[in-house]
Amino acid sequence: MSDTFKGKAVITGASAGIGKAYAERLAQRGYDLLLVARRAKLLEDVASSLRSAHGVKVSTIIADLGDPKALDGVATTIASDDSITMLVNNAGTSSMSAVGNATTAGTDAMTDLNITALVRLTLAVLPGFKARNKGTIINLGSILGFHSLPVSAIYSGTKGYVLNFTRGLQDELADTGVSVQLVLPAATATDLWDIFGVPLSALDPATVMTVDDMVDAALTGLDLGEAITLPSVENAKELLDAYDAARMTLLAAGQTSKPASRYRLAA
């Protein structure tokens, strides 16, 4: 265990996969933990293992963050806890299908968990972080926040929201001691693929990163002070710079009161 107490990290979706790996790594770094997930047995097993292995304090909240009442309860709990120094918004879900085949329940599940829960929990910790001028928020997005496939329009839409929300928040907090990291993984070997309806065995292994490698890369990016971490992209800075330059050029081009010439009817 680290000799220096780091405070308490809240990790959502912590019972397996990426959230579990974050819990393991942050416990190794000396953080106490508040782990949130809906699968009680798996979550308690993770908590017990981390207490034994690292000697840190680990508490749990069994909650489905897609449920408004459960989300309210978690938000209230973390808003009143001044020992929290980090929030890892990891919980998420997906269902890969064409929009025309999507169900209302499936769409609501993605927007409620991928967007509403992330924003609500961010708002819960933000006042305390700002008052103390210290704290870290890590939002797990996806490289599909940049792009949509024919079967990912809803999922990509939720992750596009996470991308733009997080970048705006970063700008808002730029002159404070509160740091915000946006992590944008590509394909990662988690149990979400079963939820997607696409088995991992159907993917090219060369395109799928292990959970441990993804989280280790993301935390190294945090240590390096990266605002945006793309764990699998070698030349990320150059590509992000080019993307931002094109984005700002497009934004600037729209700052005019007149319709573009192609929309002006001939006299």
> Tokens 């103390």 correspond to what residue?
132
Handedness of CA 100, 38, 157, 230 (dihedral sign): negative
Q: Which residues share a beta bridge with 86?
A: 9, 136
Q: Which stretch of DSSP H or E encloses residue 8?
A: strand 8-12
Q: Are residues 90 and 11 in contact, defined by beta-carbon separation less than 8 angstroms?
A: yes
- Angle at which helix 68-79 crosses helix 118-132, to 10 degrees, equals 10
Q: Active site includes 22?
A: no
Instruction: Return the C-alpha torsion angle 231, 27, 19, 86, nearest 10.
Output: -80
State how far the alpha carbon of 26 is from the alpha carbons of 31, 221, 265, in Å. Answer: 6, 14, 61
The catalytic residue among 22, 155, 161, 243 is 155
Which residues are identified as catalytic? Answer: 155
